[in-house]
């Protein structure tokens, strides 16, 4: 690690910058090594609390941008560790997938989903031919990267702050290394499962939330005097145009 600065909403903050070297696939003893960038914004307090590891959403978005870090750096070190496959020495770009998306008029049409799947398969084969071990690009491996960074930086317990797809990584790290987590704050929680949910799963989730809300006295009273959450959602969606449903317009 070497001294550096990091640009935040309130200007440049004192930081350390460096590189974490990890196996591409920890299950493979012959795995090649990959390099991940690390930035640690230093707490301004002389007696800092637990360090905060920030986990950005996406997936596929860099984890090295966090201009709001100044809001946390008064009492905490704030750590950003690059995501494997996105940041660092091994970046998995898939122009085949980008092209498939650009050539569709309806992202959820059967033909579009088929083309999307074929594009991913083509990209995977190309990456493997170039020497990439795709078995190493998992959330479990990313969680192990966080643990390696924690150890390398000399921290005991850490805080996690995550959003959207980053909350999946936060959950998996917490499951794998529960004794090393002080607190975890998740924004826009996206638990392990599908990234694009089926209609049946969405209905089931809303029905469950509606049932839970109905058990809370203030909410139950509101529900008794207003349309039910589920029926309102269904009637609203029926009025939504096809462009909105396919994701090609802002509604």
Give the residue-averaged pLDDT of 216-225: 60
Pairing of strands 181-187, 78-81: unpaired
The reported pLDDT for the residue numbered 249 is 44
Residue 145's pLDDT band (cuts 50, 70, 90): very high
Structural tokens at position 87: 């940041």
Distance CA 237, CA 146 (A): 41
pLDDT digits (tens, 9 = 90+) for 58-76: 888 999 999 999 999 999 9
Q: Bigger pLDDT: 205 or 29? A: 29
Q: What is the pLDDT of residue 248?
A: 47
More confident residue, 227 or 134: 134
Backbone angles phi, psi at 18, to 5 degrees: -170, -165
- Distance CA(14)–CA(208), nearest Å, equals 47
Total number of residues shown for the chain: 251
Cis peptide before 59 (omega within 30 of 0): yes
The mean of the pLDDT values for the chain is 87
Q: How far apart are CA 195 and CA 197, in angstroms?
A: 6
* Average pLDDT, integer, range 32-41: 98
* Residues 169-200: tens digit of each pLDDT: 999 999 999 999 999 999 988 777 765 566 67
Which secondary-structure segment (H or E) carries 39?
Answer: strand 33-41
d(CA 178, CA 172) in angstroms, rounded, equals 10
Q: Which tokens in the block code for residue 235?
A: 């009637």
Per-residue confidence (pLDDT) for residue 5, from 0 to 100: 96
Residue 12 DSSP SS3: strand
């Amino acid at each position: 690690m070497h001294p550096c600065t990091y640009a935040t909403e309130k200007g440049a903050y004192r930081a350390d910058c460096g590189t974490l070297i990890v196996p591409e696939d920890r299950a493979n003893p012959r795995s090649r090594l990959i390099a991940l960038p690390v930035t640690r914004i230093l707490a301004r307090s002389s007696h800092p609390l637990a360090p905060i590891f920030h986990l950005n959403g996406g997936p596929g978005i860099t984890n090295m941008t966090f201009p709001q870090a100044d809001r946390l750096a008064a009492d905490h070190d704030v750590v950003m560790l690059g995501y494997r496959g996105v940041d660092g020495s091994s970046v998995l770009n898939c122009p085949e997938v980008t092209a498939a998306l650009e050539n569709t008029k309806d992202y959820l049409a059967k033909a579009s989903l088929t083309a999307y799947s074929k594009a991913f398969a083509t990209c995977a084969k190309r990456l493997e031919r170039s020497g990439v071990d795709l078995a190493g690009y998992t959330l479990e491996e990313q969680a192990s990267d966080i643990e390696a960074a924690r150890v390398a930086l000399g921290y005991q317990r850490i805080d996690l702050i995550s959003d959207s797809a980053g909350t999946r990584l936060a959950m998996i790290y917490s499951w794998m290394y529960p004794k090393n987590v002080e607190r975890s704050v998740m924004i826009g929680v996206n638990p392990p499962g599908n990234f694009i949910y089926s209609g049946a799963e969405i209905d089931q989730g809303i029905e469950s939330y509606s049932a839970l809300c109905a058990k809370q006295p203030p909410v139950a009273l509101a529900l008794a005097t207003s349309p039910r959450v589920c029926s309102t959602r269904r009637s609203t969606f029926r009025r939504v145009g096809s462009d909105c449903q396919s994701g090609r317009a802002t509604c």
